[in-house]
């Protein structure tokens, strides 16, 4: 059974893949058991796919795959119209879980002795919108993090990825003073050139991004800041790319997630002029990945000699146990099964040849 964005966007292409028996769209996937009972063994996949306008309700969920952290989904869909993105076509309008259900799920997770919860959504800073199946809402993202911080038993809360225009000062201040929220932000930028940001129809200019980074570092100097960036967008000249490179190089950030632009059907960008050749896209991607390595290394070096709390994970990797500090430094120490899924105060001493602390 195939579900997810691709199943909604290109159900027939997916149904033709060898071995696929069932393709379920954005609303059908929640009724998967209804379709399993009468599934015949065809040579092709059966497709059940809605019009995306019908995806207007919210189903709460969380995943608890690896015992040390859980992913708690609080929001789905997106009302933004970025010119490169098919998510609104694949996931529908922005809508949220109710506050009481999010808190109930958080309590259930902590009752399973899971130490860290990562909040996820498609556009998480938009939380609150669509709580009642329409645009009315009582709560905001700030309300959500405020309430979650009060839930007993949760040791750590991490915000996954949040748009710079939706990351408000109040939220940053709350995280800085919080009991459970960790000093780690992942904030998509996509381009360091205002010209390209406008073509992408992003909802901010680079100046706002500088403000967000400065605010985070002002109240949490040791915070980890990750950045999403796209290279090779239509019309991105060498000058625009260098603008992005120099912008990121000068910013006090910790690592990059680099995406090479790829055309998506039914998006505005797919019809734009100024297509960047693939070999140039990959060259730019390589340059930014190199910058990311440099940034992460500098961030790790700035943390040496400090005391941090590490949540250890369950795998024995070549005689070592790994974990992350609250500010997302990856650390390792000789394998000891007693450390699995426990939090410990440690001193960060050195960076090993594999780049871990």
The span from the CA of 129 to the CA of 142, in Å, is 13
Instruction: Using only the alpha carbons of the chain, give its radius of gyration.
Output: 22
**What's the pLDDT at 59?**
85
Model confidence at 33: pLDDT above 90: no
First to last CA, the chain: 41
Model confidence at 183: pLDDT above 80: yes
Model confidence at 57: pLDDT above 90: no
**What's the pLDDT at 54?**
84
List the one residue out of 111, 114, 34, 101 whose CA is nearest residue 70.
114
**What's the pLDDT at 48?**
87
State the pLDDT confidence band at 40, using cuts at 50, 70 and 90: low
State the pLDDT confidence band at 186, using cuts at 50, 70 and 90: very high
Model confidence at 135: pLDDT above 70: no
Model confidence at 4: pLDDT above 70: yes
- The single residue listed with the structure tokens 């919210």 is 58
Beta bridge partners of 343: 311
**What's the pLDDT at 126?**
94
Q: Average of pLDDT values for 52-60?
A: 85
Containing 226, the helix (H) or strand (E) segment is: strand 224-231
What are 131's two structure tokens? 């709580």
Helix or strand or coil: residue 270?
helix
Q: What is the pTM of this model?
A: 0.93
Task: List, for residues 237-284, the tens digit of each pLDDT value.
Answer: 999 999 999 999 999 999 999 999 999 999 999 999 999 999 999 999
For the residues of 44-106, what is the DSSP string, one character each?
S-EEE---GGG------EEE-SSSSEEEEE-EE------TT--HHHHH-S-EE--HHHHHHHH
Q: Among 60-74, 77-91, 165-179, which stretch is predicted with the lowest mean pLDDT?
A: 60-74
Greatest Cα pair distance, the chain, in angstroms, is 62
State the pLDDT confidence band at 301, using cuts at 50, 70 and 90: very high
| Average of per-residue pLDDT values in the chain | 93
Model confidence at 39: pLDDT above 90: no
The span from the CA of 195 to the CA of 5, in Å, is 29
What are 206's two structure tokens? 């680079």
List the one residue out of 50, 48, 46, 49 whose CA is nearest residue 20.
46
Model confidence at 205: pLDDT above 80: yes
The span from the CA of 35 to the CA of 41, in Å, is 13
CB 130, CB 162: distance < 8 Å: no
Q: Average of pLDDT values for 126-142?
A: 81
CB 331, CB 307: distance < 8 Å: no
Model confidence at 134: pLDDT above 70: no
């Amino acid at each position: 059974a195939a579900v997810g964005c691709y199943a909604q966007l290109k159900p027939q292409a997916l149904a033709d893949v060898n071995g696929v028996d069932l393709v379920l769209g954005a609303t059908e996937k929640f009724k998967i058991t209804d379709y399993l009972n009468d599934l015949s063994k065809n040579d092709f996949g059966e497709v059940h796919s809605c019009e995306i306008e019908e995806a207007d309700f919210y189903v709460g969920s969380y995943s608890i795959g690896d015992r040390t952290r859980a992913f708690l989904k609080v929001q789905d869909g997106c009302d933004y119209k970025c010119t490169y993105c098919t998510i609104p076509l694949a996931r529908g309008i922005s809508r949220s879980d109710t506050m009481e259900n999010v808190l109930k799920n958080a309590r259930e997770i902590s009752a399973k002795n899971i130490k860290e919860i990562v909040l996820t959504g498609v556009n998480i800073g938009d939380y609150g919108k669509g709580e009642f199946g329409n645009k009315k809402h009582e709560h905001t993202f700030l309300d959500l993090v405020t309430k979650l911080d009060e839930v007993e038993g949760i040791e750590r809360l991490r915000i996954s990825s949040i748009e710079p225009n939706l990351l408000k000062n109040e939220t940053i201040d709350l995280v800085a003073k919080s009991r459970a929220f960790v000093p780690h932000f992942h904030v998509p930028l996509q381009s360091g050139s205002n010209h390209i940001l406008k073509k992408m129809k992003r909802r901010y200019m680079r100046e706002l991004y500088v403000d967000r980074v400065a605010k985070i570092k002002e109240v949490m100097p040791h915070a980890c800041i990750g950045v999403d960036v796209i290279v090779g967008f239509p019309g991105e000249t060498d000058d625009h790319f260098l603008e992005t490179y120099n912008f990121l190089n000068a910013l006090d950030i910790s690592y990059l997630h680099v995406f090479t632009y790829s055309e998506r059907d039914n998006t505005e960008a797919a019809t734009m002029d100024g297509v960047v050749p693939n070999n140039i896209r990959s060259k730019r991607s390589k340059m930014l990945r190199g910058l990311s390595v440099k940034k992460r290394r500098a961030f790790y070096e700035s943390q040496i000699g400090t005391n941090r709390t590490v949540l250890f994970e369950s795998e024995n990797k070549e005689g070592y146990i790994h974990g992350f500090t609250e500010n997302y430094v990856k650390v390792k120490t000789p394998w000891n099964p007693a450390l699995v899924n426990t939090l410990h105060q440690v001193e960060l001493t050195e960076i090993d040849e594999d780049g871990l602390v």
